[in-house]
Structure 1
Amino acid sequence: GKGCRGGHGNAGLHKHKFKWMLIYDPDHFGAHGFFRHAQDTEPATTINLDILVEQLPALEAAGTATRTGPGWTIDLGKAGVEKLLGSGRVPIPLTVNVASASEKAIVKVVAAGGAVNLPGKK
């Protein structure tokens, strides 16, 4: 008959069939397959337009922003910022030097009479 076999299928592999599992199926338990490695890239350091306008006096004190006529010239690369984002309003003309910028940010700065200078893009 079918008696005295210690259960059906995988029953008992962590108990009374443990030695069988170690010999014939040692990889039965545990994780197998894909492993997500740590990403090499870090998220870009960003700043929104409204925060940028608020921080103009501090940026001027740090030497990364200068007044030019009615507006400002800002070098965000020197300030450690990699990307300009478009949240907020721009009440004054700004000339911004930055590695990258969102389309919305560029549109708002140009509409206020300023410019966004992206290196490598003319």
Structure 2
Amino acid sequence: MATRLRKSRKQRGSRFCGWGQIGQHRASGSRGGVGGAGKHKHFYIRTLKEEPDHFGHEQFHALRPSDIKTWVNVKDLNDLIRFSETTSDGKVLLDLDKLKIGKVLGTGSINSALSIKVSKISESAKNKILAAGGEVLLSNELNTE
């Protein structure tokens, strides 16, 4: 259709151009609000498509994240003996670094003398293992030598 025949050209002299007498099709209400209005209501689908991460927040992070992901108590070392190796001098060596266990804690008691290789150990766990006749090998001390 030719531009000169369009309705918008015919309505040029009129005041409201066919949108009624009282301010229709004029302010921000005609476009659903200003700025981010309606993102949780009438523009929700558009928000999900264009900004899928708009709502919610990032998880809270500890100021000092712990580097110890897994740990074991002294009472559980009796169950882990099946993963141990016997050294040439007859000692039973339990390498907790191979089992991806980061620390030994002191709950419970131990039945047998074990040589335990681990990166971290609590003071009470160390005392209980030494009292049972075992020994503690800290892997970070072994690496520095």
Q: TM-score, normalised by structure 1?
A: 0.56
Which of the numbers 95, 99, 113 marks the counterpart of 2:119?
A: 99
- What is the Cα deviation at residue 80 of structure 1? 0.7
Deviates more, 1:111-120 or 1:98-107: 111-120
Question: 2:68 touches 2:102 (CA, 8 Å); kept in 1?
Answer: no
Query: Judging changes above 3 Å, is the alpha-carbon distance between structure 1 residues 96 and 43 closer, same or farther for their aligned structure 2 residues?
Result: closer
Q: Distance in 1 between matches of 2:124 and 2:80?
A: 20
Indicate whether 1:117 and 2:117 are aligned. no
Query: Judging changes above 3 Å, is the alpha-carbon distance between structure 1 residues 120 and 93 closer, same or farther for their aligned structure 2 residues?
Result: same
SS at match of 1:55: helix
Q: Distance in 1 between matches of 2:93 and 2:135?
A: 9
What corresponds to 1:38 in structure 2? 61
Structure 1: 4+ residue segments shifted above 4 A: 40-43
Code of the residue aligned with 1:52 in structure 2: it is L
Question: 2:110 touches 2:132 (CA, 8 Å); kept in 1?
Answer: yes
Query: Judging changes above 3 Å, is the alpha-carbon distance between structure 1 residues 75 and 43 closer, same or farther for their aligned structure 2 residues?
Result: closer
What corresponds to 2:80 in structure 1? 55
Q: Which has the higher contact order (CA 8 A, sep 6+)?
A: 1
The structure richer in strand per residue is: 1
Instruction: Report the identity percentage.
Output: 29
Which of the numbers 59, 82, 85 marks the counterpart of 2:102?
A: 82
Q: Which runs of 5+ in 1 are unaligned?
A: 1-34
Code of the residue aligned with 2:71 in structure 1: it is T
Aligned length: 98
